[in-house]
Amino acid sequence: MRTNLGELLRNRMIEAVTSSRKDVEDTFKVAERDIGVSKDMLAKGHNDWALNIAYNAMLQAGRALMLSRGFRSIGDAKHLAVVEFVKGEYSSQVPAQSLYVFDKTRKKRHRAVYEQVGTVSSSEAQTVITNAEEFVKAVKQILQI
């Protein structure tokens, strides 16, 4: 599914906000931090947390993109709104595989955190981390940070 900006606004998944360059940069810094933390968790054998934190890196990078355009996610599906915003607005600038992994990991993370602990392998966590790095790198170029 790819939702355009108008649909996200009509469906009340996002709203316009006033944001500063500092807001964008501060949010993006969380994404960069989380890449390193996810690697640390993987090295310690905490695969579930490595995946969760790598996902959060993508989420925060996506939020930084939204803020840079004057939007934020709202409602019950905030994470989905970020994924759909990035897909709809930046699919030509973010690697397709990273976008796919972002959305897939959004679903997996929910299960890993709330339903089935211990279901993430080290190779799966590493794949998510690698894609998160590519995603964050692409967002950094877009934002020119």
Q: Dump pLDDT digits (tens) for 22-60.
A: 999 999 999 999 999 999 999 999 999 999 999 999 999
E strands in the chain: 14-16, 71-73
Q: Among residues of the chain, what percentage have pLDDT more than 70?
A: 95
Distance CA 38, CA 61 (A): 15
Q: pLDDT value at position 2?
A: 64
Question: What values do phi and psi take at 92, rounded to 5?
Answer: -85, -10
Contacts of 10 (CB under 8 A, 6+ apart): none
Identify the domain containing residue 45 by its residue range: 5-143
Burial group, residue 2, by CB count within 10 angstroms (0-12, 13-18, 19+): exposed
Number of domains in the chain: 1
CATH (domain of 122) = 1.20.120.330
Distance CA 141, CA 64 (A): 12
Task: Give the predicted TM-score (pTM) of the model.
Answer: 0.94
Pairs from 108-115 (Cβ < 8 Å, separation ≥ 24): 108/51, 109/51, 109/52, 109/55, 112/48, 112/51, 112/52, 113/48, 113/52
Distance CA 37, CA 41 (A): 6
89-140: pLDDT as tens digits: 999 999 999 999 999 999 887 776 666 777 899 999 999 999 999 999 999 9
Q: Are 93 and 142 in contact (CB under 8 A)?
A: yes
Q: pLDDT value at position 112?
A: 67
User: What residue type is assigned to position 18 of the chain?
Assistant: T
Q: At what angle do helices 21-43 and 47-68 cross, to 10 degrees?
A: 170
